[in-house]
Amino acid sequence: MMYPRLSFKRPIDIQLAVFLTCLFLSCHSSHKEDSLRAEPLNVLFISIDDLNDWLTPLGGHEQVKSPNIDRLVSEGMLFNNAHSAAPLCNPSRAALMTGVAPDRSGIYYNLHHWRESEVLKDALTIPQYFMKNGYYAAGAGKIFHNKWPDPKSWNDYWPGKTRHMPRDPRPARDNRLNRTREAGHFDWAPLAVKPDSMGDMKSVNWVVDQLQKEHDKPFFLACGIYRPHLPWYVPQEFFDLYPLEELILPEVIEDDLKDLSDFAKGLAHGFGDPLDINTPDSSITGDHENILKRGVWKEAVRAYLASISFADYCLGELMKGLDNSRYKNNTVIVLWSDHGYHLGEKEHWRKETLWEEATRNLLFIRAPDITTEGSSTDWPVSLLDIYPTLVDICQLPEKKGLDGNSLIDLLKDPAMEWDRHVSTTYGYKNHAIRSRDYRFIRYRDGSEEFYDHTTDPHEWHNRIDSAKYREVIADLKESLPKINKTPVPFSQ
């Protein structure tokens, strides 16, 4: 809630200011009372891992088939310009679930146990805060990073409070066809199984069972869908949706990296963990060179699209479960992916960069009596905004110490101006700032990039030295995170 900022010069102004403030506060409190719900809302909190913006409603890959996501996001508010706090599972999810930005927690990579951050040690996660306020919190599948589950965040969890991820079927033989650096993980294959045999569908079915029960408390139910995270092993029927010969590759240009620093080129080529490397070796070649050598770019894109369609199938089954339950009309839906994904753009695969492909993600909210069908906004928002927004939607007491902004006003009035910058942090002292129209990046070595999305949506042309943008760049720099906490030691 933003309060009017008043400055006083004369006693008469003070009297007027006191009167106006009282009037404002009384209007505000009566408005609050008017809108208090008789019954608390339930929350269905759905994550799709490693899902980028290749969705039709986000203007993504033109061949993607995701009818269930498309239908759901037409029923509430879609954020067209949503960005993760960090372009990697653990730091993104730790930030989202605690509301604390990576530069304040010191959690930058997957190997930090996020509870070992002194800032997050006793932080109340979203489900903990809901439990504290009378909710039942449960879930299934990957919500926290799989290596660092958080038993105290849940009343109940499947497969278990200390193991959030169900097991998945694998290809019948050792299918190391891809031969990239991490072939066992960076791999794909159609599976001769039915969708219900997949771990994700088992998570969905567990959550659907919860939705069929009578609960004596309002619930916060989480469902973490793991695909399209690697490996891209999904049932054959989802590969069949994408004939290989017709497949369209992402649009790229020759020499896209030529206007970048060696540090940025090192990130593009996936040099490993940058925490141990002061100057990344830009000569290291990564996944992309291997993909090109083997001529499997189309195969990989097809497998990612197939995995999106499988995740979409899972979401559809989950929505059927909600629609057939008594909670259909009093449940808030939050649907998010934890970051974006490169599939060859900037000679890069996977996440772990500060470009649009890696930071942009899916964020959608449907809230009874608050959101409007088919609404959307192009203003930038952060996944850090989810925590305070859910607190406001469910009318819980204000939660102090959160780094995001509540989006409740924007949900109620999607046409409103929401001119805030959001930041994404990858590793120590590497940050991107996104406004509606621009992206500014600064790396730890001091090198910088600037992109104008009004003319360059692919971020092909680094305009950091252009005099035309000097003021815009100076303004974006003001939003760079300033704490830059020393990284928490890695755990094993």
For Ca ion, the nearest residue by Cβ is 89
Residue 286: name the closest of 269, 273, 267 by CA: 269
Beta-carbon contacts of residue 401 (< 8 Å; ≥ 6 apart): 99, 100
Q: State the pairing for strand pair 188-191/156-158.
A: unpaired
Strand residues in 249-343 grouped as ranges (E): 331-337, 342-343
User: What's the closest the beta carbon of residue 240 comes to Ca ion, in angstroms?
Assistant: 26
Q: Which residues, numbered 3-22, are part of the site for Ca ion (CB under 5 A)?
A: none
Question: Around Cβ 116, how many Cβ atoms within 10 Å?
Answer: 16
Residue 314 is a catalytic residue: no
Which lies closer to Ca ion via its Cβ, residue 49 or residue 299?
49
Which lies closer to Ca ion via its Cβ, residue 50 or residue 150?
50
Beta-carbon contacts of residue 394 (< 8 Å; ≥ 6 apart): 40, 41, 43, 130, 133, 218, 332
Out of 103, 150, 200, 256, point to the residue binding Ca ion (CB under 5 A).
256
Q: Which amino acid is at 352?
A: E
Contact string 348-387 vs Ca ion (x = CB under 5 A): ----------------------------------------
Phi–psi pair at 392, nearest 5 degrees: -70, -45
Give the chain's count of helices (H) and strands (E).
14, 19
Which lies closer to Ca ion via its Cβ, residue 89 or residue 138?
89
Q: Segment near Ca ion (CB under 5 A), from 39-47, 81-89, 218-226, 474-482?
A: 81-89
User: What's the closest the beta carbon of residue 337 comes to Ca ion, in angstroms?
Assistant: 8
Q: Does residue 49 interact with Ca ion by CB under 5 A?
A: yes
Q: Does residue 53 interact with Ca ion by CB under 5 A?
A: no
Active-site residue among 61, 112, 113, 145? 145
- Which pairs count as long-range contacts for 417-422, CB under 8 Å and 24+ apart, including other chains? 417/379, 418/377, 418/379, 418/381, 419/379, 420/379, 420/380, 420/381, 421/380, 421/476, 421/479, 422/83, 422/380, 422/381, 422/382, 422/384
Active-site residue among 61, 83, 89, 112? 89
User: What's the closest the beta carbon of residue 263 comes to Ca ion, in angstroms?
Assistant: 14
Strand residues in 338-421 grouped as ranges (E): 342-343, 349-350, 360-361, 363-366, 375-377, 381-382
Phi–psi pair at 259, nearest 5 degrees: -100, 25
CA distance 196 to 300: 24
Residue 241 CA from chain centroid, whole number = 26
Out of 42, 45, 50, 208, point to the residue binding Ca ion (CB under 5 A).
50
Q: Which two tokens stand for residue 167?
A: 């097991």
Which lies closer to Ca ion via its Cβ, residue 146 or residue 331?
146
- Contact present, 99 and 403 (Cβ < 8 Å): yes
User: What's the closest the beta carbon of residue 338 comes to Ca ion, in angstroms?
Assistant: 4
- Contact present, 420 and 380 (Cβ < 8 Å): yes
DSSP single-letter state for residue 360:
E
User: What's the closest the beta carbon of residue 48 comes to Ca ion, in angstroms?
Assistant: 9
Q: Does residue 259 interact with Ca ion by CB under 5 A?
A: yes
Q: Segment near Ca ion (CB under 5 A), from 113-121, 250-258, 415-423, 436-444?
A: 250-258
User: What's the closest the beta carbon of residue 148 comes to Ca ion, in angstroms?
Assistant: 13
Contact string 445-464 vs Ca ion (x = CB under 5 A): ---------------x----
Which lies closer to Ca ion via its Cβ, residue 268 or residue 305?
268
CA distance 209 to 123: 30
User: What's the closest the beta carbon of residue 236 comes to Ca ion, in angstroms?
Assistant: 25
Contact string 108-147 vs Ca ion (x = CB under 5 A): ----------------------------------------
Which lies closer to Ca ion via its Cβ, residue 260 or residue 408?
260
User: What's the closest the beta carbon of residue 16 comes to Ca ion, in angstroms?
Assistant: 53
Beta-carbon contacts of residue 162 (< 8 Å; ≥ 6 apart): 149, 151
CA distance 392 to 412: 12
Which lies closer to Ca ion via its Cβ, residue 259 or residue 409?
259
**122, β-bridge pairs:** none
Which lies closer to Ca ion via its Cβ, residue 227 or residue 399?
227
Interface with Ca ion (CB under 5 A), residue total 7
Out of 48, 89, 100, 402, point to the residue binding Ca ion (CB under 5 A).
89
User: What's the closest the beta carbon of residue 221 comes to Ca ion, in angstroms?
Assistant: 20
Residue 145 is a catalytic residue: yes
Which lies closer to Ca ion via its Cβ, residue 115 or residue 142?
142
- Contact present, 426 and 108 (Cβ < 8 Å): yes
Kindly give the residue spans of alpha helices, DSSP state H, lying in 148-249. 199-212, 236-239
SS3 17: helix
Q: What residues line the site for Ca ion (CB under 5 A)? A: 49-50, 89, 256, 259, 338, 460
Residues recognised as catalytic: 89, 145
